[in-house]
Amino acid sequence: MELIFDIGNSNIVITWYKEGEWADIIRLETKREEPELYYSNAISHILLENKINVQGINKVVISSVVSEVTDSIFNAIKQYLGLEAIILNGELFSSLDMQVPKPYEIGSDLVANAYAATREYQDDFIIVDFGTALSFTIASFTKGILGVTITPGLKTSIQALSKGTSLLPSVPVKIPDTVIGKNTIHAIQAGVLYGYIGLVKELLVRIKSEVKKPYKVIATGGLREILRELRPEFDIIDEYLTLKGIRLLSQAASHK
């Protein structure tokens, strides 16, 4: 069994892969200030709650964009499972059979997305990842990663609006029936969410015009509410795309 960690700015996504099957995704809030013991207890609780036999875990892989949490998770895994996790890094990215620009700078989640999309589906893709940041990774099956576009994620935008103003509240991620708001919460939801839908559509139009060839669009991430509205824009929706890429990259690392 392979245990996979995707450490993001808002959440740590945890799942495992066994005998060709992925387990359900579990999300743990990313807490930068918490010590190693906190994560050791959290991992122990998750595995026990899901009746996972720790003796059956033979590999652990970590992808992280939060460096201060990476060591805590790594040490917690070593202490609890007695395993040294594989950490995806620039050294690995620079040795892949896929072109990765600035391998020591690019986020490991973006590389994982590109690697999974091009290797599993064997085509050229614009990968839209709905996370703390909204990212568009342009990946060619033959040429690797061509570039990336990044903008604040939906929840990040809502939180920024609330924190940056005195009277505007933080609101749930819910698309209202109308774009003209009838109260403050409705007005914020309408402006941010419908504006976000327009943002995604416009960036896809501009990216497609720049690449000048047909690229399929694949979406991943956890925002189902917004994904439903944008469904016609995507050829594929793969919630496990990043996790698949992390696993595939760990296999590449094992062969080095």
pLDDT in tens, 220-233: 987 766 778 899 99
Q: Check: CATH 3.30.420.40 for 122-246?
A: yes
Q: How far apart are CA 196 and CA 186, in angstroms?
A: 15
pLDDT at residue 256, rounded to an integer: 59
Q: Which two tokens stand for residue 152?
A: 């604040």
pLDDT in tens, 196-247: 999 999 999 999 999 989 999 999 987 766 778 899 999 999 999 999 999 9
pLDDT in tens, 21-63: 999 999 999 999 999 999 999 999 999 999 999 999 999 999 9
Q: Which of 6, 71, 109, 235 is catalytic?
A: 109
pLDDT in tens, 100-140: 999 999 999 999 999 999 999 999 999 999 998 999 999 99
Task: Report residue 169's pLDDT band, with 50, 70 and 90 as the boundaries.
Answer: confident
Is 109 tagged catalytic?
A: yes
pLDDT at residue 226, rounded to an integer: 77
Is the fold of 2-87 the same as that of 122-246? yes
Residue 24, sorted as left (phi over 0), alpha (psi -120 to 50) or beta, turns out to be: beta
User: Quick one: which of 244, 247, 241, 214 has its CA closest to 227?
Assistant: 241
| CB atoms inside a 10 Å sphere around CB 88 | 25
Domain coordinates in residue numbering, the chain: 2-87, 122-246
pLDDT at residue 254, rounded to an integer: 72
Residue 151, sorted as left (phi over 0), alpha (psi -120 to 50) or beta, turns out to be: beta
pLDDT at residue 69, rounded to an integer: 96
Domain spanning 2-87: CATH superfamily: ATPase, nucleotide binding domain (3.30.420.40)
